[in-house]
Amino acid sequence: MCGIVGSWGAGDRDAEAVLKRMMGAIGHRGPDGIGLKRARGGWLGHTRLAIVDLATGIQPMPSQTGRAWAVVNGEIYNHRDLRRNRGRARFHTRSDSEALLVEVEQGGPAGLSRLDGMFAAAVALPGRLVLARDPLGIKPLYVGYDANRRLLFASEMKALRGAALSARFGCLAQEGEIRRGHRRRAGAGGLCGADRV
């Protein structure tokens, strides 16, 4: 069980401090390491429980190109098949999380449809953030907005306490995507798409 946190959009003057507090609230989810990275448009944080690729599976994880960064909680069962299909040259670790990162970097949110597993993930691409959960929603992902209209997300609701004004429980569609300058659409599904602010 790992933990992921992040913020996206609306400036980042205090984002690093906010994410450090959020990571502290879920530190029990990842006793094997913590990581924090400023990505284009926001911040990603990860608390790690090392299971697959103990040596090089550290997160936040960059893609081979350096254009994308990911934090992932869960397991991608078909990561070996995905690696074979994409070509091993695109990978620099043996981590199953890197397979998710490469699928989203190469195929956008549509790449998520090729994944077999249980996961909650955030992938920061140039100018956009892709948040995703497995189709059954096994791994939790909570989202909310703070007073600065920054999107905040975390593996546990308690990480959002005090940081987010409004939070939604696990209401992401498998391919929920937020672009800079966008906000969630109102509706029964919660955060399932984006509208311009």
Give pLDDT tens digits for 123-164. 999 989 999 999 898 999 999 888 888 899 999 999 998 776
Kindly tell me if the per-residue pLDDT of 179 is higher than 60.
no
The verdict on whether 171 is a catalytic residue reads no
Kindly tell me if the per-residue pLDDT of 195 is higher than 80.
no
Candidates 156, 165, 194, 137; CA nearest to 24 is 156
Q: Across residues 80-101, what is the average pLDDT? A: 87
Tell me which of 1, 2, 47, 135 is the catalytic residue: 2
183 beta partners: 195
| The two structure tokens encoding residue 134 | 């497995």
Kindly tell me if the per-residue pLDDT of 112 is higher than 60.
yes
Structure confidence by residue, pLDDT tens digits, 30-42: 767 788 999 888 9
pTM: 0.81
For 61-82, letters b (16+ CB in 10 Å) and e give bbbeeeebbbbbbbbbeebeeb
Kindly tell me if the per-residue pLDDT of 170 is higher than 80.
no
Q: Across residues 12-19, what is the average pLDDT? A: 84
Structural domains of the chain, with CATH: 3-196 (3.60.20.10)
Q: Across residues 86-92, what is the average pLDDT? A: 78
The percent of residues in the chain predicted with pLDDT above 70, rounded, is 76
Candidates 188, 101, 186; CA nearest to 145 is 186
| The two structure tokens encoding residue 120 | 């909650």
Structure confidence by residue, pLDDT tens digits, 54-71: 566 678 999 988 999 999
Residue 34 DSSP symbol = E
Contact 6, 42 (CB under 8 A): yes
Candidates 110, 105, 106; CA nearest to 125 is 105
Contact 120, 159 (CB under 8 A): no
Contact 143, 151 (CB under 8 A): yes
